[in-house]
């Protein structure tokens, strides 16, 4: 049994939990809710995108640039798997 190392990071797990609850959120929302620096958030989002866990969509509303993020089907599957694996680890601990 191996936990998904990309999701297991606490910040990325928080991002995945937020994204799994809604259709999409933008960069500013994540930045202020998670209280991260811009560079840190960009780096985490890049890592999640590279592993096909999130989709990134860039657009303009008027002159305001917007970067929207949404969870991919693979991301949902991996997150579910992560919880199942966490549960198994927990039950293994108790059985010992």
Partner 1 sequence: MKTSNEEDLQKVNKLMRNYSTNRPHTAIVSLIIFGFLFFSMFGLSTFIGKSNSLIIIIPAVLFLTCISIGLIFFSIPKYNRQLLSYITLTIFKKEGIVNNQILISPAKKKIMAISAGIFIICVPLNVLLGFFNLYDPRYMQPISAIYVVPFMLVIIFFTHPIAKINLIWPILYAVHAVLTIFKIPVFFDSQYLLLNMSSIFIYGLFTLLISFFVGQINLQKLKSKLAE
Of 50 and 90, the one with the shorter C-beta distance to partner 1 is 90
Q: Which residue has the tokens 């999130």?
A: 54
The CB-of-43 to partner 1 minimum distance in angstroms stands at 18
**To 10 degrees, the CA torsion angle through 55, 2, 44, 90?**
100
Residues engaged in binding partner 1 (CB under 8 A): 8-10, 13-14, 17-18, 20-35, 61-62, 64, 66, 68, 83, 86-87, 90
Of 23 and 96, the one with the shorter C-beta distance to partner 1 is 23
Which SS3 state, helix, strand or coil, does residue 69 take?
Answer: strand
């Amino acid at each position: 049994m191996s936990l998904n190392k990309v999701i297991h990071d606490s910040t990325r797990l928080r991002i995945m939990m937020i994204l799994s609850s809604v259709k999409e959120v933008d960069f500013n929302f994540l930045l202020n809710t998670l209280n991260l620096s811009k560079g840190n958030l960009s780096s985490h989002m890049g890592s999640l995108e590279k592993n096909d866990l999130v989709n990134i969509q860039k657009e303009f509303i008027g002159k305001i640039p917007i970067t929207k993020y949404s969870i991919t089907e693979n991301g949902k599957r991996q997150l579910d798997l992560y919880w199942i694996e966490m549960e198994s680890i927990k039950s293994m601990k108790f059985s010992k």
